[in-house]
């Protein structure tokens, strides 16, 4: 099974999700999204595949996220593309779907 993870190695939840993927024997592509940001179109694709809204994927603890509380999806996606710290992590994709790995065990649903 192939999997892609938007990963922040400094995040314990992201590291736990990556470990779950490895334990499952997944062929994992790791994207350190802070170093290699995704564009708004790719983020929109991922959220749509997971049945998520961009607001679901917004890291609400970030100060910049508060300014997006009433923003449209396109504005949220543009903000995430410009400032990837706004993306809730980890975001994991397999052929079965896309989930936000919070808690990391959520990844099991797409294995």
Q: Distance between CA atoms of 29 and 55, rounded to whole angstroms?
A: 25
Q: Which of 10, 11, 36, 111 is catalytic?
A: 11
Domains, the chain, ranges and CATH? 2-110 (3.40.30.10)
Residue 21 CA from chain centroid, whole number: 15
pLDDT of the residue at 11: 96
Phi, psi (rounded to 5 degrees) for 94: -135, 180
- Catalytic, 72? Answer no
pLDDT tens across the length of the chain (111 residues): 999 999 999 999 999 999 999 999 999 999 999 999 999 999 999 999 999 999 999 999 999 999 998 999 999 999 999 999 999 999 999 999 999 999 999 999 999
What helix, strand, coil percent values describe the chain, rounded to 5? 40, 20, 40
């Amino acid at each position: 099974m192939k999997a892609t993870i938007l990963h922040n190695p400094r995040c314990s939840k992201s590291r736990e999700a990556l470990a779950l993927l490895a334990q499952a024997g997944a062929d994992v592509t790791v994207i350190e999204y802070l170093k290699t940001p995704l564009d708004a179109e790719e983020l929109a694709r991922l959220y749509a595949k997971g049945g998520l809204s961009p607001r679901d994927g917004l890291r609400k603890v970030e100060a910049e996220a508060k300014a997006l509380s009433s923003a449209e999806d396109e504005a949220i996606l543009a903000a995430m593309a410009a400032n990837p710290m706004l993306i809730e992590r980890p975001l994991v994709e397999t052929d079965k779907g896309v989930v936000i790995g919070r808690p990391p065990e959520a990844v099991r649903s797409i294995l």
